[in-house]
Each structure stands twice: as structure tokens, then as C-alpha cells.
Structure 1
Amino acid sequence: MTRPLQLPLYAKLSLILVSLICFAFIFCIGKDIITPVLMAFLFSVLLLPVFTFLNTKLKFPRYLAAILCVILFASFIVGILLFISYEVTDMANDFATIKKNANTFLVDIHKFIKDNFNISIGEQKKYIDTVTKDSVKNGNATIGSAIISISDLLLDCTIIPIYTFLFLLYKDHFILFLVKLISKENHAALKNILSQIKVSINNYIVSLILEMIVVSVLTSLGLWIIGVKYFILLGLITGILNLIPYIGITAAGIITILASLTGSAETSVIISILIVNLIVQLIDNNILVPLIINSKVEINAFVSIMGIIIGGSAAGISGMFLAIPLLAILKIIFDRIESLEPWGYLMGNHMPKRFIWRIRKVNPQN
């Protein structure tokens, strides 16, 4: 029987570092291909209980069950988008009112800056004109980037359902590949890892949906109380954008402020909107996330933030969304492989009360 190769610590760390660099490099150069595949994998895991029910309980053929799952999921997404587009079209009828109130609000801001910072309105407009000219110079590049982003989004919307269908259809085929790849004595560990990955991803995505619903309801209720028009639409947009870490809630606040201009340009309304968003975020960050998200995905805050930042820099918004489930998958794998268990512990959310070094003194005479 061959003994496993024992490497010194510096060699292990070097191999881990080289592996991380290789994975990061491959992901960065192939993110346009890898990101839709990973998104489809998450959606297929979410739809797996429905697929199993249709295939085993109702005796639907595999391909038909997979198609129905994708159609149901796509219909749900399209229904939300149709509702938003209908409400946005209704809001567009108030564009003239929004423009008028926006101008009034900008004049109030100019006066506030002039009264409190002694900067004349002319100097303020001069600075705005300078910034606008700089923006116009980069306008062609911005428009080009926007066109590319829209084309990539349309491509993803087409290819992700196809990938999801194929993941569901060839589920057993992929599992058998992993079984053939791993030695027989490790099949029990592989089965445990796959089952835990399924449970973890399902729990995470369901928790995100639940968090989105609660944030949407709380925001809609708060906006309704302060008298903002289209409060249901704005609450739903806030809940959806809240799924995007850091950026989403800021964009939702800006959209809500602009939409509030359909009623009036009073500063008190805008301040009330900011207060509502702040209260909802405090509830979300201090109650919903620890109770709903962190209880399902046992990853500490430091690793989560680092993963979201790295995912955002590598693949934008999609990378930020994929960061947490990918970290959860890595933690599950690390926890069940003895040599990688310390890294799983590092990613975890364990809080030991206190650690005391216990070093046995050695008698030099012995």
C-alpha cells in the first residue's frame, strides 16, 4: 500500500496559492462563459425538487419535466417584469410633473448651497457644466459599453434557460461522472457533499426570495405611510435590487426619490424616503440577514464581504450574486476533506469563547 505524500507547510501553501491564482485567471478570462453556467447551475438546483416531483411522482419523461420546470421559472420572472414594465409605463405619463418638480428641487438645492456654503448659483452651474462636458467626451465609450452590456444580457437570458434545462436533463449523467472520477472508498463522502450542496443552495436561494419579499413589503408599507405614489412598484424594485449587495439599495433609493417627484418636490418627502430606506436597511441587516441568510449559510462576515468584493471585481453584479453560494459550496467541500478542514473552519461562523495556549514544559534533563 502506498503511503500518501507528506509535504511541508510552505509547499502546501505554495500549491494552494498557485491553484487560487490559476482558478482566478481562468475565471477572469472566461467569465462570459462560466458565469451563465454557474447561474444555470444554481437555478437547476433550485428547480430540482419540482423536476423530481414531475419525473418520479407524475411519471413525466425527463425532457418534458425539465422543459416544464424551465417554463414555470421563466413565467415567474416574466410575470414580475411585465408588472414592473406596466407600472413604469404608467409612471412615464407623469414625466412632465417629474421634470417640473425635479427643477424645483434643484433650485432649492442651489439656494441651500448658496446660503450655507457661500457658493453662488453661477459658480455651481459652471461646475456642473464642466462635469457635463467631461461626461459628454466619454459619451461614445459609455454608449458602446451600454450596448455591449445589453447584448450580453440578452444572450444570457437566452442561454441560461438552455443550460438550466440541460443540467436538469443530464443530472444523473453528471453525478455518474463524479462517481467514476472518485475512488469507491470516497463515494459516501461524495454523496454527503452533493446532498449538502443541494440543501445549502436551496436554503440560500429560498432565503433570498423570502428576504426580498419582506424588504418589498416593509418598503411599500413605509412609502404608503408617507404618501408616495407607486409605492407597490417602488417597494418591489427595492426588494429586487436589494439582492445586489451595496449597489442595489443605493440604486433603489435614487429611483424612489425620482419617482416621488410625481407628487411634489418637497424636501420633507425626500428626507422621509431616506428615513424609510434607512429603517428598512437596519431591519434587513440586523434582523433578516442574521436570522434568514446567515442561519442557512454558515459563512462569517469577513469571508462573505471579501468574496462579494472579489466576485464583483471579476464578474460584476453576477459575480457578486454568485459569491455567497460558491463560498458555501467550497466550505461544504473543505469541511468534508480532512486535509482542507482548517480552511473550512476559517470560512465558518464559529465563535469560540476563548482559546488558551496550552504548551507542555519539557524538562531538559529528560
Structure 2
Amino acid sequence: MRKIFSKWIESYFSNEEVLLLFVLLATSLGVILYLGQPLAPVFTSVILAFLMQGVIEWLKQRNVPHLASVILVFLGFVGILLSLILFVFPLAWKQSVNLFNELPRMVTEAKAVLLLLPQQYPDIFSEKQISQIIDLATAELSQVGQWVVTYSLNSIAGLVALLIYLVLVPILVFFFLKDGSSLTRWWLSFLPDKKEMLSKVWAEMDDQISNYVRGKAIEIVIVGSVTYVAFALLGINYAALLAIIVGLSVLVPYIGAALVTLPVALIGFVQWGWTNEFWYLMLAYGIIQALDGNVLVPLLFSEAVNLHPVSIIIAVLVFGSIWGVWGVFFAIPLATLIKAILNAWPKSEVLEMTET
């Protein structure tokens, strides 16, 4: 057994680039775990700059100078940020407060409907099952209320953090856009000259992750905007808040669309009941989800992310449990990184001869 294990170690871990990759991954993980909170504005700025890099390259291909491209893209970014701060976020916050104030009435109406189920469908639902569902929902809502109270008590600290983000992030984004290439070359200068494995990993990841991150950002904007227009035309309450939730749900493939159906249906039911308006709402929501999955996603991503659906779901569950929202957002890129590492992993000559 020891001989077999030693041979396996020698086959897969004898290359010096493997040790270098392990050091880089361990260092990156350590920085994220121990310095993630203080460096959050930096990470956010890097992600935003990465999203906008494609537009800069597109402008440079049309003979626009680098600095002019950076300024144009940065001004567009500032305009979008101001629009979110001045219009979208206040509207969503106002609707969130109204929704929280309406929750007791909505819960009462939902309880009344649930209590009728054992009478209408005694073979399917029992009073004990309905009571358990009501108790579980009440407990979850009480936790939400406690979170809101805690958040309100910490609002001053959150306001200070928000102000820091609003000042630091735009400044960092501008410099990452302007000097990103020189900063990358500076970091690469610390690596050994021999880095074939790292080059293979980066070559496989670059197109896939860049296309995925930018495509996902575009998908969020399109799905959220279309949802808001449809819900506003239908006249449902909290249209802006629901549109933001539906837009962000595309971050979690296969799972997000199913989860966000519940608040959409609940708010529609409380507002209209089993009327035609409710079914029009669900029909519009179903059409949006169908167009997103069958038209928008293939158009934006194509073969950019070549991962099996099971791998995507496992990645979302694992990285989401570790890093929360950021883990969910970067679950597919991280899974792509793991896949690229496995594909580029050096093998011994014996193994290569066996495979051929």
C-alpha cells in the first residue's frame, strides 16, 4: 500500500510547477479568509474593472487611445452607479419597508388559506401537517424580524462602510482600468520563468471566466429590467423589489429561478387571490424564465462554460456555503478553475504512455 501511494504521489506531485501552484492557491485562499473583509473594496474594484475590460478592448480595436477608452468607460460606470444610488436603490428600499410592514397581514391571509386545505383536500393534507408548516414559517419570519432589528441597530456602521465603498471603489476601479496591464506584469515578474502549467491553466480559464462574468452581469440587467417592465404593467405591488430579486436569482443556476417563484407567487396571491391577474402574473414570469434559459443564456454564454449541470449545482452548494453570496457568484468560475487545473496537471511519462 505504501509503495502504491508513493508511486501515486510521484506521478502527480513531482513537478515543481505543482508546488508553485499549491503555494499560489494557498496564499490566495489565506488572503481571502483572513484579509477578505478589509480588502473587500479592492476585490470589488478588481471584479468591476474586469467586467469593464472587454469594453475598453473593444474601443481600442477601433483606434480609440487607451486613456480615452478608460475615461469613457469609467464615466459610463459612474453614471450607472449614480443612477442606482439615486433611483433604483431608494425605490427598492421603500418597497422593502412597505413589504415588511405588510408581512403580518400577508401571514394572516396565508394562514387562512392554508387552514382551508385540510377541509378541501383531506386525503392530501392533514391539520397536523398544516400546523407544522405554519409554525415553521412563523419561526423563519421571526428570524427575519430579528435580522432587521439587528441591521437597524448597526446601521451607523453600515453607513460608514457604504461611504467608504462609494469613495474607494470608483478610485480603485479607475486605476485598475488605467494601469491593469502594468500591475499584472509586475505581479508576474515574481513568478519563475518556467510556468507552462500556469499558462495552460490561465489560457483555459481566461476566455471562459471573462465571458461568464460579463455575460452574467448582462443577464442580471436584462432579466431584472424586463421583469420590472412586465410586473409594472401588470400592476403588482413591489415590482422594483421583485425585479431585483428575479434579476439576482440568475446567479444561482437551476436553483435561483425555483426559489424566487415563491415570493412572486405569494405577493401576487395576496394582492389578487385566484383571479385572472394572478395567472397573468405567473404566465409572464414563466415566459421570462423560459426566454432566459432557452434564448438569453445560450446567446450570452454559448460554450463559454463547458461544465456538466451536476458540477455546477455542486459548485454552487459548496462555494455558497463557504463564502455566501460571493461564493454563489463565483461558483462556476471556481469550478472552471478546478477543471482547468485538472486538465493541465502534469503527469508522469508512464501514465502518458498508458493513456496513449
User: What TM bracket, shorter-length normalisation?
Assistant: 0.5 to 0.7
Residues 202-235 of structure 1: CA deviation (Å, up to 9, x unaligned): 422332244335544765687589x443697467
Distance of 1:216 and 1:67 partners within structure 2? 27
Which residue, out of 64, 72, 79, partners 2:76?
72
Which residue, out of 31, 38, 43, partners 2:48?
43
Question: Unpaired runs of 5+ in structure 1?
Answer: 1-6, 342-357, 361-366
Distance of 2:132 and 2:195 partners within structure 1? 70
Q: How does 1:1-366 map to 2 (within 5 A)?
A: 8-11=7-10, 12=12, 24=29, 27-33=32-38, 36-51=41-56, 53=59, 62=67, 69-80=73-84, 82-83=87-88, 85-86=90-91, 89=94, 103-117=108-122, 128=134, 132=138, 143-144=149-150, 151=158, 154=162, 159-183=168-192, 190=199, 199-212=207-220, 215-216=223-224, 219=227, 227-229=234-236, 233=240, 236-245=243-252, 248-249=256-257, 252-257=260-265, 259-260=267-268, 263-266=271-274, 269-270=277-278, 273-274=281-282, 276-278=284-286, 280-285=288-293, 288-328=296-336, 337=344, 339=346
Q: Is this contact kept in 2: 1:98–1:258, CA < 8 A?
A: no
Distance of 1:217 and 1:141 partners within structure 2? 28
CA 212–110 in structure 1, closer or farther in 2 if over 3 Å, else same: same
Distance of 1:287 and 1:96 partners within structure 2? 38
Distance of 1:99 and 1:140 partners within structure 2? 15
Residues 176-226 of structure 1: CA deviation (Å, up to 9, x unaligned): 224423455669x85x8767755444422332244335544765687589x
Q: Is this contact kept in 1: 2:95–2:238, CA < 8 A?
A: no
How many percent of aligned residue pairs carry the same amino acid? 17
Distance of 1:186 and 1:332 partners within structure 2? 15
| SS in structure 2 of the partner of residue 177 of structure 1 | helix
Q: CA deviation at 1:173?
A: 2.6
> What is residue 3 of structure 2 aligned with on the other side?
none
| SS in structure 2 of the partner of residue 339 of structure 1 | coil
| SS in structure 2 of the partner of residue 163 of structure 1 | helix
Q: CA deviation at 1:43?
A: 1.8
Q: CA deviation at 1:241?
A: 1.8
| TM-score, reference length from structure 1 | 0.63
| SS in structure 1 of the partner of residue 37 of structure 2 | helix
Residues 115-149 of structure 1: CA deviation (Å, up to 9, x unaligned): 4347669x967985797479758965774367669
Residues 339-358 of structure 1: CA deviation (Å, up to 9, x unaligned): 289xxxxxxxxxxxxxxxx9
Q: Is this contact kept in 2: 1:215–1:235, CA < 8 A?
A: no
Aligned length: 332
Instruction: Please report the RMSD computed on the Cα atoms of aligned residues, expressed in angstroms.
Output: 5.3
| TM-score, reference length from structure 2 | 0.64
CA 304–37 in structure 1, closer or farther in 2 if over 3 Å, else same: farther
What letter is aligned with 1:43?
A: L
Q: Is this contact kept in 2: 1:242–1:249, CA < 8 A?
A: yes
| SS in structure 1 of the partner of residue 332 of structure 2 | helix
> What is residue 351 of structure 2 aligned with on the other side?
none
CA 126–250 in structure 1, closer or farther in 2 if over 3 Å, else same: closer
| SS in structure 2 of the partner of residue 170 of structure 1 | helix
Q: CA deviation at 1:58?
A: 5.3
What letter is aligned with 1:245?
A: V
CA 309–74 in structure 1, closer or farther in 2 if over 3 Å, else same: farther
Q: Is this contact kept in 2: 1:101–1:264, CA < 8 A?
A: no
Q: Is this contact kept in 2: 1:28–1:315, CA < 8 A?
A: no
Which structure: larger Rg?
Answer: 1
